C-alpha cells in the first residue's frame, strides 16, 4: 500500500483516488503517523457485505468433503510439567 503525506494527498487528490481504484488502498499519514486509508467503493462494499454464518462458510469450503478424524482425550486430568 502506498502512503501519502496529507499535504501531498490534498494536492493530488484525483491521483490518490485513481490509484485506489486501479492499484488498491492508499494510505494517508498525518504528521508521519498512519491516519486513514482511501479505498475504492467496490472494496468498501465488500468489507460491509454480510458474512455467512461460520457453519455455512465451512460447508461451502472446497475441502468440505475431506474426512478428518478428530479424537479427543476424555480423561479428567492430564500430567503437566511446571
Tens digit of pLDDT for each residue in 48-81?
999 999 999 888 888 888 888 888 878 888 778 8
- Please tell me the predicted confidence (pLDDT) of residue 8: 96
Beta-carbon-side half-sphere exposure of residue 66 (alpha carbons within 13 Å): 8
Collapsing DSSP states into helix, strand and coil, what is residue 54? helix
Domain edges within the chain:
2-58
Collapsing DSSP states into helix, strand and coil, what is residue 68? coil
Tens digit of pLDDT for each residue in 10-51?
999 999 999 999 999 999 999 999 999 999 999 999 999 999
Collapsing DSSP states into helix, strand and coil, what is residue 14? helix
Report whether CATH 3.40.1620.10 matches the domain 2-58: yes
Amino acid at each position: 500500500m502506498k502512503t501519502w503525506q496529507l499535504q501531498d494527498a490534498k494536492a493530488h487528490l484525483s491521483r490518490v483516488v485513481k490509484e485506489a481504484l486501479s492499484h488498491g488502498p492508499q494510505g494517508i499519514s498525518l504528521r508521519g503517523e498512519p491516519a486513514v486509508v482511501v479505498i475504492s467503493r467496490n472494496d468498501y462494499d465488500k468489507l460491509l457485505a454480510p458474512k455467512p454464518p461460520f457453519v455455512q462458510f465451512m460447508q461451502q469450503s472446497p475441502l468440505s468433503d475431506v474426512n478428518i478424524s478428530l479424537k479427543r482425550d476424555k480423561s479428567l486430568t492430564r500430567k503437566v510439567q511446571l
